Structure 1
Amino acid sequence: MRKRLQFIEREHLPLRGDYETLTIYYRLFIPEMFPEYRRAIYLDVDTIIQRDPRELLDYPLENYLFAAHQDHVAQKYPETIRYVHNYLGLKLKHYFNSGVLLMNLAQLRDEHFTQQFTNLLNTYHLPFCAPDQDYLNILCYQRILTLPATWNALPPIRPEDTLVHDPAIIHYCFFDKPWHYQNIAYDQYFWNAASQTTLMNELLQEQRSFSSDNHQHEEIALHQLLAHADRLANTLPSVKSLNLIS
């Protein structure tokens, strides 16, 4: 395990995007890091929990490797739609957000998931837009059970998206951060949680100091991400042609 992580640190330092760090890969090593557990719940740090997540541990996974909710960001932009279809070789309804995961650790260990991931990572050095999420979706194609939106309530992105009533877990993914912008969907849950900490004033100051230059920087980052997705979709062969998806 340590050798695998050290290899990633040596060989995969230049990650793309403003918010990508080596830690994005760590969730994919959880099955081997905690061999004493049969299931686990993974949450991104930009989540707020409204209901006991242990309810998820009783979710009927059967032989599915993960349970997760669909990624709506990928469904909004023509560039990301082409990226998922043409480059990843996946259907949008089978492309999931990796910020909230119910993990079938026992099954993942039985199928040597971590070894498959490190072999894929070290053999092909594939360019991706969301590396950890894309590897997970590729390796687990049609082995991810769909969670109800209440367990990964994302701020509405598409016109057809609606707010989840009484969400269990809110996920402020992508650029929709209530500590940066006012009137973000579900921001009342964030500020209610923040008010119960010593960080409330600091977070309010963070929001007040988030300038137009910061906003412009995020707009540029989005443009670069979409351009990167379009290049991959239009200039490289599909990952599916590598026969990585069973």
Structure 2
Amino acid sequence: MQTIPVFYTISDNYTTYAYVSIQSLIDHADPNQDYTITLLVQKISAAHKQSLEDLSTDNVHVKIFHINDEMVKPIHKTKENYLRAQFFTMSIFYRLFIPELFPQYDKAVYLDADTIICNDIANLYNTKIGENMFASCPDLSIRYMPLLQKYIKECQGILPPEKYINNGVIVFNMKAFRDKHFVDKFYYLMDKYHFDNVDPDQAYMNEICEDKIYHLPKEWDSMPNESIPEFTNPKIVHYNLFFKPWHFADVQYGHYFWDVAKKTPYYAELKQQLDDFTDEDRKKARQDLEWMAKKVDLIVNEPHTWAKVKQHESVKID
């Protein structure tokens, strides 16, 4: 029986959402398969740690892994590393180190905690991605946002912009990451250029691995997008950006989250979060999205954008 390794990276305050995501994965797990779920954290409360570990079943094993502070020490809390141009969270970078930290695996799945799994994750794991560094879906959350399309073209220098991926769902070629020394390349570029990004971890993965990324069918990363209808049969729902079902009652794909959440011990807490999130909070969330887009006009004038650097130095893995 093969073991399917699945990774999440969370901060303590994302425990409730990770719990719901893992429960959805368990709900669709094949009883004849073996799954090991590892959550990478720096700090987590004893109660939250126990809660997550207690999700384990006979064939789904949930573990907590404390990431080494030294490994992420070079990543600084500076504006270029702000997520969505709003705030700093170290946890978004943890995924970049998974291949180095777990050399026993040559392949693995990574999932953001704000996902709901609607299919056996073994089917994603078994996707054949060839010699590519990893597999992910093109980022449909920004497909219809002109300023973010500008960001990909003029700041990232990735053309066509439709090939820019979202890294909330990843099938890692772990061996390739190690063999190609991805982490060394990441440290080098970050230290030399301090690229300003609205999506720091995702930008580095897109740039360093460009042209060595396998594009998954879009249903594996189904994201709310007010410009397009819901997919009929999403395999994974990913509540990307600001529109979370615990904040917006009418968000696309919202029922997938609540159908699972109601079976968990955090249901009342999550419903309270929805009730406490005011219209003013929702207005601010939309303004935050607008600010993220507007920041593109600031980034494009930075001395070191990806697009500018690529005119004189290759940033890609060979």
TM-score, shorter chain, exceeding 0.5: yes
Partner residue of 1:110 out of 172, 179, 185: 179
> Which residue identity is paired with 1:204?
K
Matches for 1:154-165 after TM superposition, within 5 Å: 154-158=223-227, 161-165=228-232
Q: Structure 1 residue 230: deviation in Å?
A: 2.1
Instruction: State the aligned residue count.
Output: 242
Greater RCO, CA 8 A, separation 6+: 1
Contact residue 116 and residue 257 of structure 2 kept, 8 A: yes
Per the alignment, residue 181 of structure 1 pairs with: 248
Partner residue of 1:197 out of 264, 269, 272: 264
Matches for 1:49-68 after TM superposition, within 5 Å: 49-68=117-136
CA distance in 2, matches of 1:45, 1:175: 14
Per the alignment, residue 142 of structure 1 pairs with: 211
Q: Deviations over 1:67-99 (max 9, x none)?
A: 111112322222111111011000212200011
CA distance in 2, matches of 1:187, 1:19: 25
Contact residue 80 and residue 230 of structure 1 kept, 8 A: no
Q: Secondary structure at the match of 1:128?
A: coil
Higher helix share: 1
Partner residue of 1:207 out of 274, 296, 309: 274
Q: How many percent of aligned residue pairs carry the same amino acid?
A: 31
Structure 1 residues 232, 174: CA separation in 2 closer, same or farther (over 3 Å shift)?
same
Contact residue 69 and residue 96 of structure 1 kept, 8 A: yes
Contact residue 46 and residue 171 of structure 1 kept, 8 A: yes
CA distance in 1, matches of 2:185, 2:245: 37
Gaps of 5+ in 2: 1-67
Per the alignment, residue 286 of structure 2 pairs with: 219
Matches for 1:35-50 after TM superposition, within 5 Å: 35-50=103-118
CA distance in 1, matches of 2:124, 2:141: 24
Partner residue of 1:98 out of 167, 177, 187: 167
> Which residue identity is paired with 1:155?
P
Matched, 1:79 2:165: no
What is the TM-score normalised by the length of structure 2? 0.72
Per the alignment, residue 244 of structure 1 pairs with: 314
Gaps of 5+ in 1: none
Q: Structure 1 residue 13: deviation in Å?
A: 4.8
What is the TM-score normalised by the length of structure 1? 0.91
CA distance in 1, matches of 2:120, 2:221: 13
Structure 1 residues 2, 35: CA separation in 2 closer, same or farther (over 3 Å shift)?
farther
Q: Deviations over 1:134-181 (max 9, x none)?
A: 1110101111111111211111343xx332222221101112211111
CA distance in 1, matches of 2:155, 2:302: 9
> Which residue identity is paired with 1:88?
Q
Cα RMSD (Å) of the superposition?
Answer: 1.8
Contact residue 114 and residue 238 of structure 2 kept, 8 A: yes
Q: Structure 1 residue 114: deviation in Å?
A: 1.1
